[in-house]
């Protein structure tokens, strides 16, 4: 039988932090890399104990504020630096999903909605409106999701009407 690691969780976690060669982090923002396991979305995962795995950035923030985040109350750790692998607690905001989605929209990181409208030029919207190509192909061509490529628009709709429809959908 394999022997369990009995070192404290905080000590094990600290062994998995890379603050960069100069200790100031990576990139202009000073992000810290998590050296442990990362999920398919790029977020670090840390095994706190035998039964609990948490996202590494949430654990890092919990250590900084002195208490675990409360997901049952809607709390989550939201990256301000836009790097899912970053675990610098100063780059993590404690908030709820609505706040995180709003930050994404303001930073232009949202995968749909208004951010897509700003990503697509009027000429691209016109091409989507008039194209016979599949949504998947249009999405690939313009670097958006297939759902965003459709924009909930109808043939014959103008670009302005498409934007108005998106604004209407965002307000609901």
- 95: phi then psi, degrees, rounded to nearest 5: -160, -170
Quick one: pLDDT at residue 54? 94
Assigned token pair, 23: 């200790």
Confidence of residue 77 (pLDDT cuts 50, 70, 90): very high
- CA–CA dist 70, 76 (Å, integer): 7
Quick one: pLDDT at residue 118? 45
pLDDT in tens, 95-153: 888 888 777 777 666 655 444 444 566 666 667 666 777 767 777 776 666 655 555 55
């Amino acid at each position: 039988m394999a022997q369990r690691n009995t070192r404290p969780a905080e000590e094990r976690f600290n062994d998995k932090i890379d603050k960069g060669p100069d200790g100031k982090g990576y990139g202009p923002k000073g992000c810290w890399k998590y050296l442990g396991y990362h999920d398919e979305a790029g977020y670090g995962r840390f095994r706190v104990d035998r039964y609990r795995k948490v996202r590494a950035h949430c654990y890092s923030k919990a250590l900084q504020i002195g208490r675990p985040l409360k997901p049952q109350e809607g709390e989550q750790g939201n990256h301000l630096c836009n790097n899912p692998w970053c675990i610098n607690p100063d780059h993590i905001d404690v908030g709820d999903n609505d706040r995180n989605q709003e930050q994404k929209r303001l930073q232009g990181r949202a995968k749909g909605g208004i951010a897509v409208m700003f990503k697509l030029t009027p000429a691209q919207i016109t091409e989507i409106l008039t194209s016979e190509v599949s949504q998947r192909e249009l999405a690939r061509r313009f670097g958006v999701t297939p759902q965003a490529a459709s924009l909930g628009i109808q043939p014959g709709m103008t670009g302005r009407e498409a934007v108005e429809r998106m604004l209407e959908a965002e307000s609901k």
